[in-house]
């Protein structure tokens, strides 16, 4: 894997880069759709390629449990098994073990947990995580890290930072394949000192790329952005930086502004399946009765294959009758929105107008407050402060 910063933004920490893997060239900043078990639910490889995604995320935890990494390896690795010709990044499963699995028991050796599927008991060490990810054969693999649920005590976070570094070293030491890139993961909760420690420690270990983990776990957006403000400058400038499990459209804009190159999130696909559709003018909740006789496309300004062909009324009908085609079409629309947003962000960076882009993004955002949910509500003022710091 090679990574090249091609153009830093003069008005933010944003940057245009080119990530070259064995299976694809990825212009960054980029968003990775999530196919936990292989496919993005309901979508084929062709769909993702048409949507403009050269890189997707598969999840080692899920694939280790089903069908098993050895079967995937026997079938020629993830690319051959899933029929995806582009690049793949596998999450090590650290986050899923701590969020999905039952009865986690963590020591420095590794983590013992029960499968969320059948309750079977498993023991994963850093070495085992690498063995699994090497068997799966993604282009980019992640170290095993220890995530902690927030809020929690400083000691717990400190311990997880220490262990995450320890595990990162062991992951590095246990690698056998030389054709995969390995990314380290920064932990540290919302504690500024521990985040700095973690970032610096990881940086000295020398990874092919660096991820900021342990965010988007319920903290407020201001907290998340503050962690990025603090952490990203500690990461090697010439390596790609990946914000794990994030996020909503505004998080992508803010992440890019803080120097993030890669994102992944289930938001576009999961929101698609639940009928929550992203548009330039806010969120369309397709199950609402008002859409039953609405002949317009989801977003009249959208050029996606769904908006070109189908009406809100039809998508409302598909959702109402629980037709899986509805989940598929909604996911395609949302992923197009995310792909297009990243394309517009890159274009703005290339043309030196990212600050103006960011401002325009929030003008639309403020106008349509329903576009944001949960922690985002009520925070446009904060964003406005943040994004104007350079533009003036």
| CB closer to a copy of itself out of 156 and 313 | 313
| CB closer to a copy of itself out of 309 and 388 | 309
* Interaction pattern, residues 16-55, with a copy of itself; x per rule: CB under 8 A: ---------------------xxx-xxxxx----------
| Residues within window 267-296 making contact with a copy of itself, judged by CB under 8 A | 292-293, 295
Catalytic residue among 47, 261, 264, 299: 264
| CB closer to a copy of itself out of 32 and 78 | 78
> Is the bond into 46 cis (omega within 30 degrees of 0)?
no
- Identify the residue among 328, 358, 365, 387 touching a copy of itself (CB under 8 A): 328
If binding is defined by CB under 8 A, does position 333 make contact with a copy of itself? no
Compute the least distance from the CB of residue 246 to a copy of itself, in Å. Answer: 24
Give the number of other CB atoms < 10 A from CB of residue 180. 23
Compute the least distance from the CB of residue 115 to a copy of itself, in Å. Answer: 13
Following DSSP, what letter does each residue of 13-31 receive, concatenated? S-EEEEEE-SS-EEEESEE
Phi, psi of 12 (to 5 degrees): -155, -175
* Interaction pattern, residues 221-260, with a copy of itself; x per rule: CB under 8 A: ----------------------------------------
Residues 88/21, Cβ–Cβ less than 8 Å = no
| Residues within window 151-210 making contact with a copy of itself, judged by CB under 8 A | none
| CB closer to a copy of itself out of 62 and 165 | 62
Three-state DSSP class for 215?
Answer: coil
Compute the least distance from the CB of residue 308 to a copy of itself, in Å. Answer: 9
Among 103-111, 194-202, 243-251, 323-331, the segment contacting a copy of itself (CB under 8 A): 323-331
Number of residues that bind a copy of itself (CB under 8 A): 36
Cα 363 to Cα 366: distance, rounded to the nearest angstrom: 5
Among 101-109, 122-130, 216-224, 321-329, the segment contacting a copy of itself (CB under 8 A): 321-329
Phi, psi of 148 (to 5 degrees): -120, 145
Q: Check if 340 is active-site.
A: no
- Identify the residue among 318, 342, 355, 386 touching a copy of itself (CB under 8 A): 318
- Identify the residue among 327, 342, 345, 355 touching a copy of itself (CB under 8 A): 327
Provide the β-strand partners of residue 89: 57, 140
Catalytic residue among 9, 91, 139, 299: 91
Among 26-34, 99-107, 281-289, 326-334, the segment contacting a copy of itself (CB under 8 A): 326-334
Cα 229 to Cα 258: distance, rounded to the nearest angstrom: 6
- Helix then strand then coil, % of the chain, to nearest 5: 45, 20, 35
CA contacts within 13 A on the Cβ side of 98: 16
| Residues within window 94-133 making contact with a copy of itself, judged by CB under 8 A | none
Cα 177 to Cα 179: distance, rounded to the nearest angstrom: 6
Burial of 120 (0-12, 13-18, 19+ CB in 10 A): exposed
Q: Report the sign of the C-alpha dihedral through residues 190, 194, 200, 206, in that order.
A: negative
Give the number of other CB atoms < 10 A from CB of residue 1. 18
If binding is defined by CB under 8 A, does position 300 make contact with a copy of itself? no
Cα 151 to Cα 173: distance, rounded to the nearest angstrom: 32
Q: To which H or E segment does residue 387 belong?
A: helix 380-391
Q: To which H or E segment does residue 10 belong?
A: none
CA contacts within 13 A on the Cβ side of 211: 31
Q: Check if 366 is active-site.
A: no
If binding is defined by CB under 8 A, does position 319 make contact with a copy of itself? no
Report residue 88 as tokens: 């793949």
Among 139-147, 226-234, 279-287, 305-313, the segment contacting a copy of itself (CB under 8 A): 305-313
Please give the positions annotated as active site. Answer: 91, 264
- Per CB under 8 A, residues contacting a copy of itself are 37-39, 41-45, 66-67, 71, 74-76, 81-83, 292-293, 295, 309-311, 313-314, 316-318, 320-321, 323-325, 327-329
């Amino acid at each position: 894997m090679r990574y090249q910063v091609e153009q830093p933004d003069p008005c933010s920490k944003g940057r245009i880069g080119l990530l070259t893997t064995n299976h694809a060239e990825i212009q960054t900043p980029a968003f990775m759709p999530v196919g936990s078990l292989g496919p993005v639910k309901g979508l084929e490889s062709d769909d993702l390629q048409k949507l403009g995604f050269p890189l997707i995320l598969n999840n080692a935890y899920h694939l280790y449990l089903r069908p098993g990494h050895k079967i995937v390896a026997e079938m020629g690795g993830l690319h051959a098994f899933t029929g995806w010709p582009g690049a793949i990044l596998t999450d090590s499963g650290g986050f899923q073990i701590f969020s999905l699995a039952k009865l986690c028991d963590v020591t420095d050796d590794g983590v013992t947990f029960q499968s969320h599927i059948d309750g079977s008991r498993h023991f994963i060490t850093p070495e085992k995580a690498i063995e699994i990810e090497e068997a799966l054969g993604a282009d980019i693999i992640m170290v095993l890290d220890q995530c902690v649920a927030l809020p929690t005590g400083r000691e717990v976070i400190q311990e997880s930072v220490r262990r995450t570094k320890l595990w990162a070293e062991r992951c590095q030491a246990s690698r056998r394949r030389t054709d995969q890139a390995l990314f380290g993961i920064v932990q540290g909760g919302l504690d500024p000192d521990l985040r700095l420690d973690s970032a610096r420690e990881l940086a000295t270990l020398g990874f092919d790329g660096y991820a900021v983990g342990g965010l988007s776990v319920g903290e407020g957006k201001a907290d998340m952005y503050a962690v990025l403000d603090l952490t990203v400058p500690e990461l090697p400038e010439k390596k790609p930086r990946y914000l794990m499990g994030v996020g909503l459209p505004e998080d992508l804009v803010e992440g890019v502004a803080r120097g993030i190159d890669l994102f992944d999130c289930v938001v576009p696909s999961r929101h698609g399946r639940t009928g929550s559709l992203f548009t330039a003018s806010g969120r369309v909740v397709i199950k609402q009765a008002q859409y039953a006789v609405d002949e317009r496309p989801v977003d009249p300004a959208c050029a996606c294959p769904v908006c070109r062909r189908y009406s809100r009324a039809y998508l409302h009908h598909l959702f109402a009758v629980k037709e899986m085609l509805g989940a598929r079409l909604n996911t395609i629309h949302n992923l197009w929105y995310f792909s297009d947003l990243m394309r517009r962000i890159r274009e703005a960076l290339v043309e030196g107008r990212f600050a103006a882009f960011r401002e325009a993004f929030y003008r639309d955002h403020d106008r349509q407050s329903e576009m944001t949910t949960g922690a985002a509500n009520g925070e446009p003022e904060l964003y406005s402060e943040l994004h104007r710091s350079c533009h003036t």
